[in-house]
Structures are given as C-alpha cells and as structure tokens.
Amino acid sequence: MKNREISSKLLEKYIENSATEQERDAVEQWLNAETFDEVESSASFQANKEQIKREIWNNLPPGQTEKIKRFPRSPKTFRYAAAAAVIFCLTSFGLLHLLTDSNHTASSQQIVQVCDHPTFIPVENDTEILFVSETSGANKLSQKMACKEGNTYLAIKVKFRSEEKLLVVNEKDIQHLPPFLNLYIANQIKS
C-alpha cells in the first residue's frame, strides 16, 4: 500500500487498532516520512494534516510509539553525542585518577610508636611515616618523615638538657651525627 492511498477510514482503523499488518505498515511509513510534504493527498486533507498527525500520535496504543519513532540522523546529533561521550570519558578518567591517587596517599602513611628503646624500621615501599612517642610528662612527641624504599630508619627518644626529643634518622646517616648522639645511641642499643 502506498502513501497516497491513506484515507481517513484507514487512519480510523489504525487508531482503533483494527487495521491489518499491511495497513499498519503503510500508516507507519506515512508517519515516518521526512516531511508531510512528501505525502501526496487531497487539498482538504493537506489543510488538516498537522491536526491529524497530532491525533494519531496521541491515540497510538502503548508500545507502538517506540516502533514508529526513529532516531534523528542529523550530523549535529552525532557531533553532540560524540562530544558528550568524550566529556564523560575524560571526566570519568580524571575522577578515577584522583580517587586512586588519594587512596594511595592515604594508605601509604604509617604510624610507628617509639618506646624508650631504639626502634629500627625497614621500609619496603616509599611511604610517609609518622613516628609518635610519649614523654615522661605525658606529652606526645611526633615527627613525620618521607621514607624511601630499601632504607632502614632509626627512631629514638633522646634526652637533651632535661627535654625529651624524638630523633628519626636514616641508618646510613647515623655516622654523621654529633659524637655525643652516637655515644647515646650506642648505649641505648646495648641496654
């Protein structure tokens, strides 16, 4: 059935859902025409075409509108869809990267409790370590240090002029400490 054979009776049958499959296809083809100007019809029918089109669309049975509607194929639509997809991907990648970095930073910090005796801490990964200790006066000492993979660090409480300090040093740098600190550390290790 061709577009020009569509009559008001056929449209009524379509709306009432009593049209044959072939008649339904003809009406749907007519509805999907690029413009109504492509459809050949009488002059009286042309005058009411927009009203009739609205009535048909409004009276379609459920599920029929998905079958009839088609995706607009303009190049602008594809450009906008492509731009939206690119923006979505970049935003997702950026957020994933930020979340991964913040989780990595948060999980790479360690806390080490330093007692009265020297504490040696071997470091397996580059990490930030917070060394904490309590003084005899119930005050807390703390020192944060960025520690490098493969190094061992010494943490020790040192009394200097009746004040307690927390000393954290790379094991390789112990020899560069002042002699009285070397002696103090050696005595602490022996005891």
* Structural domains counted in the chain: 2
Spatial distance between the Cα atoms of 31 and 189, rounded to a whole number of angstroms: 92
- Is the model's pLDDT at 188 over the cut of 60? yes
pLDDT at residue 155, as a whole number: 86
My answer on whether 182 and 125 are in the same domain is: yes
My answer on whether 186 and 117 are in the same domain is: yes
My answer on whether 50 and 114 are in the same domain is: no
More confident residue, 85 or 56: 85
Q: What is the value of pTM for the model shown? A: 0.41
Task: Look at residues 11, 44, 68 and tell me which one is the last residue of a structural domain.
Answer: 68
Tell me the CA distances in angstroms from 137 to 25, 32, 134, 141, one per residue in order: 92, 86, 8, 11
pLDDT digits 0-9 by tens, 77-106: 777 888 888 888 888 777 777 776 554 444
- Is the model's pLDDT at 147 over the cut of 80? yes
Tell me the sheet residues that pair with 109: 128
Find the largest Cα–Cα distance for the chain.
112
More confident residue, 135 or 12: 12
- Is the model's pLDDT at 1 over the cut of 50? no
Query: What percent of the chain is predicted at pLDDT more than 90?
Result: 0
**28 near 68, Cβ under 8 Å?**
yes
Is residue 169 a part of any domain in this protein?
A: yes
pLDDT digits 0-9 by tens, 116-129: 778 888 888 888 88
* DSSP letters spanning 166-180: EEEEEGGGGGGS-HH
Is residue 90 a part of any domain in this protein?
A: no
My answer on whether 128 and 178 are in the same domain is: yes
pLDDT at residue 3, as a whole number: 45
Q: Domain limits at 62?
A: 3-68
